[in-house]
Structure 1
Amino acid sequence: MPQMMPINWIMLFFFFSTIYMIFIIMNYFNNIYTPKKFKMNKFNNIKNINWKW
């Protein structure tokens, strides 16, 4: 964009690399990382259910 101030390529590199790292960290915490509190073992919880047929 010609009306913008010219930006140094190092600043552009840091800008896009930080956005990339933030994206990776957000995906890690949303998809991969599950702390022990939120882990539910479905097969162990079946014992606690009282089935009423």
Structure 2
Amino acid sequence: MRERERERERENGEIEKRRKKGENTEGERERERERREEKEIVTFKTKTISRNLIFS
């Protein structure tokens, strides 16, 4: 279903219009969310390692 919507958007040039306006497309939003999650995981691991080193 999403593929059909994306096809329609491509045909109408909606994706290009959104990019010009500065709005993110669905795929860009997903990538941004993944980057934030990875950042949070790295931060958590770093804090955990730091605590372990301090208390060991």
For normalisation by structure 1, the TM-score amounts to 0.49
- Work out which of the two has the higher radius of gyration on C-alpha atoms and give 1 or 2: 1
For normalisation by structure 2, the TM-score amounts to 0.47
Q: Which has the higher contact order (CA 8 A, sep 6+)?
A: 2
